[in-house]
Amino acid sequence: MAISEVARFDVLGDVLAGLGLRTRLFCRMEVSAPWSMVFGRSDLAHFHAIERGRCWLERPQAPPFALCAGDLLVLARGGPYQLADQPGRAGTPLEEVVPGASDGRYTSVRHGGDGPTSVIVCGSFGFDHAGGHPVLPLLPDVLHQRAGEGSGWLEPLLRSLAGEAQAARPGSLTVLSRLTDILFVQVLRAWLEQQPDQPSWMRALNDPRLARVLAALHEDPAQDWSVERLAEEAGMSRSPFSGRFAEIVGEPPHAYVARVRMHRASRLLRETDRTLADIAAAVGYDSESSFSRAFRNQFGVSPGAFRREARASSRDRGPSDDLHVDA
């Protein structure tokens, strides 16, 4: 019964859609020893799929560790860090090796000396608006999914990603975008299955009663979600429900309800032309003014400014399906 209820609405998918998930592949690099590549600070999460060979990850104040063929590395907070054929190499900045890394182009590059060769597919995960981000702060700095530990999904997905990146056929940019979307969701799923006990809304997805509550709330945030009604959805009395929710999610129910409403509103502002009054009603606010105050408290900007920023960002990216490949 609980599984059937949770399946009626995809909470994780709703959160990602509300944030405007943007994934991209920026290079497939063939690197031959000796080689190194330095990645600077970034607001994006980075990922690297080791298609062939091996390499080392080095980060400030952290011991280096090795990556092998079939491994997937995700750095939830970007750089700075370095990939190299062995620890201690003098680093070459990414921008010197991958000329399209900063302007959105996908690039195929060769770099390094005449030693053993490795092939690495590199990309990033980003969001249209990261205010009050409900996903990335939950993740550890580094997620390392080893080959053979992906429960069957990692190897075929990385193989498809590498094959599409190498082929560079018409429509490849669209295919790569969808594959990297899937990659991000699978990374979150894998982490969710193994995550520690710190409170978070993602941890609540593993609790049948709370997952049922989150599904109902995300499906229709405009409802009058009092604590009593949320507890009824969970099949619990008010006091035990409030305690369990705060313990597992890390915030009281009313705070989570407000956050869900704001992220749904951000999606409506970005993707529709509905008036602010319509959007306020759609996410459970009685007036446009109360909605605007709550939105500014969450995101630091007014709903109108958020919409203009989102539209400008969309125009800047442009609807391109061209795949640029530089040898």
- Answer with the residue of higher pLDDT: 60 or 22: 60
- Answer with the residue of higher pLDDT: 206 or 32: 32
Asked if residue 49 lies in contact with residue 120, where contact means CB atoms within 8 angstroms, the answer is yes
Residue 254 has what pLDDT?
Answer: 95
Q: State the pTM of this model.
A: 0.73
Longest dimension (CA), the chain: 68
First to last CA, the chain: 55
Cβ neighbours around 255 below 10 Å, total: 12
Residues 6 or more apart whose CB falls under 8 angstroms from that of 160 comprise 179
Residue 309 has what pLDDT?
Answer: 87
- Answer with the residue of higher pLDDT: 161 or 73: 73
> How far, in Å, CA of 269 to CA of 132, rounded?
16
User: How far, CA to CA in Å, does 170 sit from each of 6, 33, 98, 227, 321?
Assistant: 38, 33, 22, 52, 8
Rounded to 5 degrees, what are φ and ψ at 88? 90, 0
CATH architecture of 2-11+199-313: Orthogonal Bundle (1.10)
Asked if residue 25 lies in contact with residue 160, where contact means CB atoms within 8 angstroms, the answer is no
- Per DSSP, 95 falls in state H
Does residue 174 have a pLDDT over 90? Answer: no
Assigned token pair, 92: 């070459």
Q: Stretch 10-26: mean pLDDT, rounded? A: 76
Residue 292 has what pLDDT?
Answer: 96
Residues 6 or more apart whose CB falls under 8 angstroms from that of 161 comprise 25, 49, 121, 176, 179, 180, 183
Q: Stretch 308-324: mean pLDDT, rounded? A: 60
3-state helix, strand, coil split of the chain in percent (to 5) is 45, 20, 35
Per-residue pLDDT tens digits for 244-291: 999 999 999 999 999 899 989 988 998 899 999 999 999 999 999 999
Residues 6 or more apart whose CB falls under 8 angstroms from that of 55 comprise 31, 66, 67, 83, 84, 85, 118, 120
Q: Stretch 99-128: mean pLDDT, rounded? A: 81
Q: Stretch 22-27: mean pLDDT, rounded? A: 80
CATH architecture of 22-194: Sandwich (2.60)
- Answer with the residue of higher pLDDT: 317 or 230: 230
To the nearest 10°, the Cα dihedral for 123, 177, 77, 10?
-150
Per-residue pLDDT tens digits for 218-235: 889 999 999 999 999 999
- Answer with the residue of higher pLDDT: 277 or 318: 277
Cβ neighbours around 148 below 10 Å, total: 12
- Answer with the residue of higher pLDDT: 132 or 204: 204
Assigned token pair, 252: 């009281």
Beta partners for residue 21, in sequence order: 127
Looking at the chain, the number of H-run helices and the number of E-run strands are 13, 10
Residue 131 has what pLDDT?
Answer: 53
- Answer with the residue of higher pLDDT: 14 or 20: 14
pLDDT band at 192 (very low <50, low <70, confident <90, very high): confident
With CA atoms as reference, report the closest residue to 12 among 250, 223, 147, 182: 182
Does residue 199 have a pLDDT over 60? Answer: yes
Domain ranges in the chain are: 2-11+199-313, 22-194
Residue 289 has what pLDDT?
Answer: 95
Assigned token pair, 180: 């990297």
User: How far, CA to CA in Å, does 298 sit from each of 129, 253, 258?
Assistant: 12, 16, 9
Amino acid at 255: A
